[in-house]
Structure 1
């Protein structure tokens, strides 16, 4: 095989890097668009946007009303004829109506409780081709399932509130550690692309971190399975709907939570040592 000239190899390498950057930018834009679409359909974000619009427009109409009242007052003090006071006075009254309505609407929306935030809305997946993308995609799916199951568990009063908070805390901690690990994997992959001579040194670490992500997904799925079994048994009448009741399924959920917490702590320490 005839080796390529250095200039052609350099040009080819530059084109490959350019294409990778273009693909990464397209992926970032796609992820941002998807995140915005998810935010548009999120009930919490919808309520926050309604509050903001009502507050903003009530302030605008109130300022317009105040300005027209000021104009009317100035005209009245300068001895302007009565017919000149009618127009700004009517406009001020007209601005006071929407200002009052929007202020009342804002107070009503402010009193309405916010829905719980949707899990994983702001987290982006690693770019296509990254070794960290499959486990993080699996984490997103498992996270949505777990939050739905925890809602059923909470409404059914199947476990104590303290245990529910512990499960949620362990899940959030594991997701945070996995997201940080995935960012490290993506950074090392980009460094290996930009400097190919470093790949042989970075690849073992990339493989080790990816294996840890796969382990984390399995641990997370075990927690989801334990929660699903508890919900299934509770709906079938196999467990008593009391926060003080304990049973093998409850113990399985606690055990899965402890294992996930231990794994997340170990991976966090490993990341600090390697950093």
Structure 2
């Protein structure tokens, strides 16, 4: 087995563990887990407070001793305070935009593949877009929904381009094993590489549009927001066409 193939095999075997660790460290997913814990805490104390209050009312109607009614009311208040605090904290969390999701760690095509250079460019562009969207989210210059849409479109487009790269690698390996097949595959490989390059160029345009939002310019914030959404729509259209044209 060649050294590069052995390295790819080791990387493939370790990828689930690496993905799990990255998932646990992802700021967006960590914040989602924090919000879920806070929401569960609010639900728990709210339910405990409500059930205790109902129980207290029932004993009072049954003419139970006063000490029992007072104890029950005190327990309801004890549970109500953390319930209110948890709800308030959860509402504050909901008011802050979630950090953008980190781009998925991708295995690059092997050395010598025509798909490797474009995919290296795509990996860098994904990282740049992630940092830019995080800055824009903190500034509040763009609505959270628009940023989420942009991140989702970028992620979907990157997946489509990744599949094109996989196809290129498969065709290159098939060509290596059959000289006659290589004659027919050469044109297909060149066309796929051109599509991959064009897709990465479209992705770079989206990154450039996001970069414009981080500093004041001649154009107003609405104009720059429109440029970001326009670049997102173009990338989405390109990715859709790519998926439709793939065999």
TM above 0.5, yes or no, is yes
Partner of 1:209: 192
Aligned with 2:203 (options 212, 215, 220): 220
Segments ≥4 residues shifted beyond 2 Å: 22-43, 45-48, 114-118, 236-240
Distance of 2:233 and 2:218 partners within structure 1: 26
1:169 aligns with 2:144: no
Distance of 1:41 and 1:171 partners within structure 2: 19
Q: TM-score, normalised by structure 1?
A: 0.58
Shift of 1:258: 1.1
Q: 1:126–1:133: 8 Å Cα contact kept in structure 2?
A: yes
**What are structure 1's unaligned runs of at least 5 residues?**
1-17, 52-113, 241-245
Aligned with 1:193 (options 176, 190, 205): 176
Partner of 2:238: 263
Partner of 1:251: 226
Q: TM-score, normalised by structure 2?
A: 0.64
Residue 200 of structure 1 aligns to a residue whose secondary structure is helix
1:59-208 to structure 2, matched below 5 A, reads 117-121=101-105, 123-208=106-191
Distance of 2:237 and 2:22 partners within structure 1: 35
Distance of 1:45 and 1:157 partners within structure 2: 21
Aligned length: 183
Shift of 1:38: 8.2
Against the structure 1 CA distance between its residues 31 and 231, is the aligned structure 2 distance closer, same or farther, given a 3 Å change threshold? farther
Shift of 1:40: 5.3
Residue 232 of structure 1 aligns to a residue whose secondary structure is coil
Distance of 1:224 and 1:27 partners within structure 2: 30
Q: 1:44–1:115: 8 Å Cα contact kept in structure 2?
A: no
Shift of 1:27: 3.8
Rg larger for: 1
Q: 1:223–1:257: 8 Å Cα contact kept in structure 2?
A: yes
Q: Any idea what the Cα deviations from partners look like across 1:206-258, whole Å, max 9, x if unmatched?
A: 1111111101111101100110111122xx79756xxxxx22x1121111111
